[in-house]
Structures are given as C-alpha cells and as structure tokens.
Structure 1
Amino acid sequence: MLDPTTAKILADPKFKEMVAVRNSYSWICTVLMLIAYFGFILTLAFDKAIFAQKIGDGVTTLGVPVGLGVILFTIAITTVYVRKANTDFDAMKDAVIKDVQK
C-alpha cells in the first residue's frame, strides 16, 4: 500500500507527462548510441577495408578518426542529456512537487 504522498505523485498528470517525456528522450539517446557503437563495430567486423584506408600519406587509417568520432559523439549525447535533465526535467519535477504540496 502506498503512502498518500506517493499516491498523489503517481496520480499527478504532470508526473505522468514527465515520465513519458523522459523515457522517450532516454530511448532516443539509447538508440542513437547503439547505432553509433554497433555501426562502428559491425563495419570493423565485416568490412575492415573501409577503416583500413590510409588518410593522406601518413600511417593513420580512417578507423582512428571514426573511432574518435564515436567517443566524441558519446560525450556530446551525454552532455545534451544532462543539460536536458538539469533544465527541463528538473523544472517538470519541481512543478510536480509544487502540485503535490498544495
């Protein structure tokens, strides 16, 4: 059995909206990360020649900047999610708390 405060929070439409938006955003970020990681790994596994191409006259291959790109993409998408969580999701949470405390 839930305590009254928890029941009010779970019944609040703003809370339900916040959970739906947050879950949707999380799934989008997850799918993008899976595409980036598995795209890199599967390309490496099944067509090594793509990443084995040398860049210019040096010894660096295409796989190095693409791998670095995957890492930078991870940092970027994490930054975007944290910023969204600290602004939009926190504002939604505060609105739910304000409604429940009435």
Structure 2
Amino acid sequence: MDQVQVERILQNPKFKEMVARKSRLSWTLTAIMLFVYVGFMLLVGYNKEFLLQSLGGGVTTIGIPLGLGIIVLSFVLCGVYSYIANNKLDSLNNDAIREVEAIAQEKGPQL
C-alpha cells in the first residue's frame, strides 16, 4: 500500500465517520467513569463523615455500596460500549472496511 492509498483511506467519509463515532463514544464513557471515580475520591477526602454513616443502623456504611456501585458501573459501561459497538457501529465499520479494501486493491504507481 502506497502513501496515496493511505491518504485516500484516511480521507474516506465512511472511515472518518466510523473513527469519529467510536472516538466520541469512548471519550463519553471515559468521562462518565472519570467523573464518578474522581467524585468518589473527593468524597473520601473531604466528607468522610458522610461515608461513615451507617446504612439502616447496621454495620454497613454508605461508603460500601458506593464503592461497589463504582465497580458495577465500570462493568455496565463496558457492556454499553460493547452493545453500541456491536449493534450500531458494526454496519458502519463493515462499510468502511469494504471501501478501504477496494482502495487497497487498486494498483498504485509502480516504482
């Protein structure tokens, strides 16, 4: 594959759309996870009293379900990404791959 073919692939509208949508999705989910995690860490650092409150009068504190919730959220966000990537972006990905393969099959200038 020569530089002209690579440039045509990078300028392909379907390839650009696929890259943009995957990037937007991954950055959105990353921002959500980062916001929740940093929020929890700030809560630990600045409001320990809240996290130490008993949940229903027992030995379990509010911090335990919040921490578990963050772990569960990470799995949920992975599932969301997988679902969207497999069901929404796969058709766009396949279209882009077909066009990229067509570009790659064309013969470039012989040196």
Q: Could you tell me the TM-score, scaled by structure 2's length?
A: 0.82
Q: Which runs of 4+ in 1 moved over 3 A?
A: none
1:55 matched residue in structure 2? 55
Report the residue type matching 2:89 in the other structure.
Answer: F
Structure 2: distance between partners of 1:81 and 1:53: 34
Seen in structure 2, the aligned counterparts of structure 1 residues 87 and 2 have a Cα distance that, compared at 3 Å, is farther
| 1:1-102 mapped onto 2 (5 Å cutoff) | 2=3, 4=5, 6-100=6-100, 101=102
The percentage of counterpart residues that share the same residue type is 39
Give 2:107's aligned residue: none
Alignment gaps of 5+ in structure 2 = 104-111
Residue type at the aligned position of 2:42: L
TM-score, normalising length from structure 1?
0.88
Whole-angstrom distance in 2 between the partners of 1:62 and 1:88:
37
Q: Residue in 1 aligned with 2:108?
A: none
Greater RCO (Cα-Cα under 8 Å, separation 6 or more)? 2
Cα distance in structure 2, aligned partners of 1:64 and 1:19: 38
User: Aligned-pair RMSD on alpha carbons?
Assistant: 1.6
Aligned length: 101
Q: Secondary structure at the match of 1:21?
A: helix
